[in-house]
Structure 1
Amino acid sequence: MVEPILLSAAQILTFDGDIGLTNASGFFFERDSRLFLVTSRHVFVDEPTQHFPSRVEIELHIDRANLAKSIGFSIPLYQDGKSVWRQGTDNAGEIDVAVIEINRAALPDSLVYRAFTPEHLPDPDANIEVGSALLVVGFPLGFHDLLHHMPVVRQAAIASSFGLRFQGAGYFLTDARTHRGTSGAPVVIRVDQADPARGDLPWMLLGIHSARVDLGTRDLKLDEALGLNCAWYADILMTLTELPAIALNADGN
């Protein structure tokens, strides 16, 4: 059986109707009985580049014994003209993370996947040091195992103090070689101690990869790119996956 961490990520293809637009990365997050697809907000909408897809498609494994078998699963981004994903803001502005709930009833019964849960998020007092080794699990430039439909991983390291908001924004820096298509990938760190709450995913979900960081003053001929990236803190998922107020009050509580 393949490593479970590889089953937690999904390639995202964006479409305007039937017209293919871009590819990106995403992953599954489960809270209570609800399942979400997590990615970067700019995958769903990006005004500066006039990127306005109407739907996304992810590839799902449907046979545990044969990972070469998969299907495409389409998720509309709008209903009755309104966006159905959730995104967040903080004191520094918009957060480049978005989630969209997946209709479990529409999923195949034989679906093979793994999902992160709130138990995979770091505790507030977690001791995560700068320079710690990380993995970024995704689909750089759309590259992946075309036969088994698996993502690839890039090695990374924490490049800024974890827990501090770099320059006041809700992300930390990673040192890794990344490419377009990696946006929305989970940024994880290995956990040594076994924890039944994490199941067979012995990883801590630290962040969501967003974009490379560069300097506007860099000489494109003389200076190499910094090789740094921003990863938004994963604890935003606890806010974005909360039940809507109307649902919370449906039983009168």
Structure 2
Amino acid sequence: MIESLLLTTARVSTFFGTQALTGASGFFFQRDERLYLVTNRHVLIDRPSGHLPDRIEIEVHTDVDNLTHAAVLSVPLYRNAQAIWHQGRDSAGEIDVAAIELDRGALSAAVMLQAFTPAHLQHPLQEVKVGTPLLVVGYPQGFHDTLHHLPVVRQAVIASSFGLRFQGQGFFLTDARTHRGT
């Protein structure tokens, strides 16, 4: 039996045309019947570094009895030169979070994934303080179970004020080592 937490996260590969660019992590979020992949915005666009992919690929499991079976879903990032992903924002502006809706019709009935929902969101946010423990699930620098296509999980704590933008940027810090981007 597989822990459902491991099926909430997908390995993300970025591409420009057929050229592979980078690897990252994303997680599934469902609101009503709509399914999204959520990742860092810098995975989808990072103008200062020249990272400008036009699509991503994500791995999804296709056999509950054999986790070595996976499929790759290709997701375009633009339609008619317009981004089809959504930029995350808070009261101070853009944050380093983006979400892209996944076409459920492009997913076969065999796809196994677990999605977070609004019921999983932390309320109230004031309870998240420096030192609050958390689990970070992902594919740090590409490291993962390559046979079973599964992420790794690391323990971490909130390492900067959750309600205050770190150095004025749209993020906060954790102390999870090797999880670049968290």
Larger mean CA deviation between 14-23 and 161-170 belongs to 161-170
Amino acid at match of 2:9: A
Is the Cα contact below 8 Å between 1:135 and 1:155 reproduced in 2?
yes
Could you list the per-position Cα deviations for residues 169-209 of structure 1 after superposition, in whole angstroms to 9, with x for gaps in the alignment?
553332221244xx3xxxxxxxxxxxxxxxxxxxxxxxxx2
Equivalence for 2:118: 118
Deviation of residue 90 (structure 1)? 4.3
| 2:67 equivalent to 1:67 | yes
The gaps in structure 2 that reach 5 residues or longer are: none
Query: Deviation of residue 135 (structure 1)?
Result: 1.1
Of all paired residues, the percent bearing the same amino acid is 59
* Offset, 1:163: 3.8
Q: Deviation digits for residues 203-228 of structure 1, max 9, x if unmatched?
A: xxxxxx2xxxxxxxxxxxxxxxxxxx
Shift in Å at residue 142 of structure 1? Answer: 0.6
Distance 1:125 1:69, change over 3 A: closer
Deviation of 1:69 (Å): 0.4
Q: What amino acid does structure 2 have at the position aligned with 1:65?
A: D
Residues of 2 paired with 1:146 and 1:170: CA distance? 32
Amino acid in structure 2 at the alignment position of 1:25: S
Instruction: State the number of aligned residues.
Output: 182
Q: CA deviation at 1:124?
A: 1.9
Q: Provide the TM-score with structure 1 as the length reference.
A: 0.67
Give the 5 Å matches for 1:1-253. Answer: 1-90=1-90, 92-124=92-124, 127-166=127-166, 169-180=169-180, 183=181, 209=182
**8 Å contact 1:154–1:178 — kept in the other structure?**
no
CA-CA distance at 1:2 after TM superposition: 1.1
Kept in 2: contact 1:131–1:157 (CA 8 A): yes
Using the alignment, how far apart are the partners of 2:16 and 2:165 within structure 1? 35
CA distance in 2, matches of 1:125, 1:20: 38
**Contact 2:88 2:99 (C-alpha < 8 Å) held by counterparts:** no
Instruction: State how far apart, in whole Å, the 1-side matches of 2:135 and 2:90 are.
Output: 26
Asked if 1 retains the 8 angstrom alpha-carbon contact of 2:96 and 2:171, the reply is no
Q: Distance in 1 between matches of 2:54 and 2:163?
A: 35
Q: Please, which runs of 5 or more residues in structure 1 have no aligned partner?
A: 184-208, 210-253
Structure 2: which amino acid aligns with 1:157? V
Contact 1:54–1:78 (Cα < 8 Å) also in 2: yes
Pick closer, same or farther for the CA change 1:81–1:140 going to 2, 3 Å.
Answer: same
Alignment check: 8 A CA contact 1:92 1:169 kept: no
Larger Rg: 1
Q: 1:65 to 1:98 in 2, by over 3 A?
A: same
- Give distance in 2, aligned partners of 1:128 and 1:17: 41
Amino acid in structure 2 at the alignment position of 1:124: P
Aligned CA-pair RMSD: 1.8
